[in-house]
Amino acid sequence: MEYEKIFMEAIGKGAVVNYLCGEWPYEIERSQYTSDVEPTDINRVIMQAVYESYKYKPEVKNIFESALAKMLCGSVKEVYIAILYFDACLFAEKQKRARFLLSMDKLLPKIRKAISENKHDLY
């Protein structure tokens, strides 16, 4: 599947949050052997769409971070998914597989606030 092509189409349509949340028609099915509760294959989205697109379009970093920031101000579902992406990106950074590093100074305060505001629904 051409994950980065579909991701770039989502960018063009202003549907990055929809893509990241795995909303139709952007859902990427996870392996049947995965036990995580995710609406889309988050690792595949990061590795094969976001990071691959960044190679030839560096502004993808800002687009991705802006989408995460928007999700952190959205519904509980979007907050949960944004945190999953954040966690997966940190793991990729530690494994030295990330194409870029997240802007912690921009995202961490938003994550803290989103968790605080949604703590009853996230636990």
- Domain range for residue 15? 3-122
Tokens of 50: 């976001």
Identify the CA nearest to 83 among candidates 103, 101, 66, 107.
Answer: 107
Overall domain count for the chain: 1
pLDDT reported for residue 10: 96
CA 39/CA 45 separation, integer angstroms:
12
Torsion sign, CA atoms 84, 86, 2, 14: positive
The pLDDT value recorded for residue 61 is 98
We report the CATH number of the domain holding residue 79 as: 1.25.40.520
Average confidence (pLDDT) over 34-59? 88
Integer Cα distance of 33 and 107 in angstroms: 31
Q: What is the pLDDT of residues 108-120, one digit of tens each?
A: 999 999 999 998 9
Mean pLDDT to the nearest integer, 30-49: 78
